[in-house]
Chain A
Amino acid sequence: MSFQYTLQLSGQPVHCRFEFARNVQLCSKFIVSRYEGADALRVTAAERQIYHAAYSDKPWSREAESKLFIMLVSDALLPHQRLIFHSVAILWHEKAWLITAPSGTGKTTQYRNLKRLYGEEVQVICGDNPVLHFQEDGVIMVYPSPWNGKEKFGGNAAAPLAGIVWLEQGPENKIERLAPKDAVIPVFHEMNTFSRTPELVDQLFRLEEKMITSVPVWKFENTGTTKSSELLMKCLMDCDEMEQYHELQD
């Protein structure tokens, strides 16, 4: 038994064939129609093999299918100048800010702290895997996706990307802007992809290049406390002010 639907992600239709009904439910907000074609994306034996090689202790499950779908969909979106980036996408001052790091580093903690400190001023676009659309005008738009992480923090808004914060746990709170060459590896590791062909890898890197050269990337060593989130917000404020200043100059 399987379920085929067309999802609309950042305005781009993606045909998906799910094995688990609960994954259809997870995507319900993004489903635009049923799909009958034979070319729908689905998890094949090859992807399952990759999953079992990485997580040999975990059985095949609804969660596993969902995890693999994020990478499948991201690869399918690449030729359309889109990708899915592992991060919490927050909306602040009508701009999107991505907080990225490997799972368990404290992305959600930072979002919760910011929400606690700044209330309605801070909204969430996507809690774990937003879709990024690299538009022809050079703007990178950040959109929600069905994959919001276990806390299921999701929103409806989309906004232009203004900055990327790469988190690292540490004994003190310190934030520094990274040169693009130093951002390549950390940003690359949070891109959802199977990168199975040289062509896909090339497309992925061209998009990454646009990402890390068009907006600032910060390395944020932090303790996860509200004090650390205040420092993060100060950094975003400085960046926002600087951008407004440049807009006025133009």
Chain B
Amino acid sequence: MNYKIRDGIVMETICGTSLLIATLEATKYCPYVMQLNEASAYIWRMLFDGKSMEEMTVLAARDFEITEEEARETLNSFLQGLAEQNYLIAKNEVN
């Protein structure tokens, strides 16, 4: 499954802490603020850069020194969680 970031969601990083913030129309759908750990922020940046699921899997496996299968599983679970909270939209859905 591929995902896109919902319009109005921004990630801010200060003093090593990354947060997702809902702005504009997104405030109607998502919690206002959510903290991301370092690994989650890394995945978010890849998503923001428009990487596909396959590209993210390869990069995550390389950078976290895990197998591609483990990377895929971690990515799926993380992205699905964000989609459930409406920060992400599955690509076949309408924003």
Contacts and interface: CB of A to CB of B under 8 A. Distances in A.
A197 interface: yes
A188 B19 contact: yes
Given A196-B24, A198-B23, A181 B10 contact: no
Contact of B23 (A195, A208, A213): A195
A118 interface: no
Interface string A191-204: 00001111011100
Contacts, number: 46
B33 to A, nearest CB: 7
Contact of A198 (B8, B17, B35): B8
Chain B's interface size range is 10 to 19
A interface majority secondary structure: helix
Contacts of A183: 15
Nearest to B18: A184
B27 to A, nearest CB: 7
Nearest to B8: A198
B12 interface: yes
Nearest to B27: A196
A13 interface: no
Nearest to A184: B17
Contacts of A213: 15
B17 A181 contact: yes
A205 interface: yes
Contact of A181 (B12, B16, B32, B33): B16
9 contacts: A181-B16, A181-B17, A188-B19, A195-B21, A196-B23, A198-B8, A198-B10, A201-B12, A201-B23
Interface of B: 8, 10, 12, 14-17, 19, 21, 23-24, 27, 32-33, 35
Given A195-B23, A198-B10, A208-B14, 5 more contacts: A181-B17, A185-B33, A201-B23, A209-B14, A212-B15
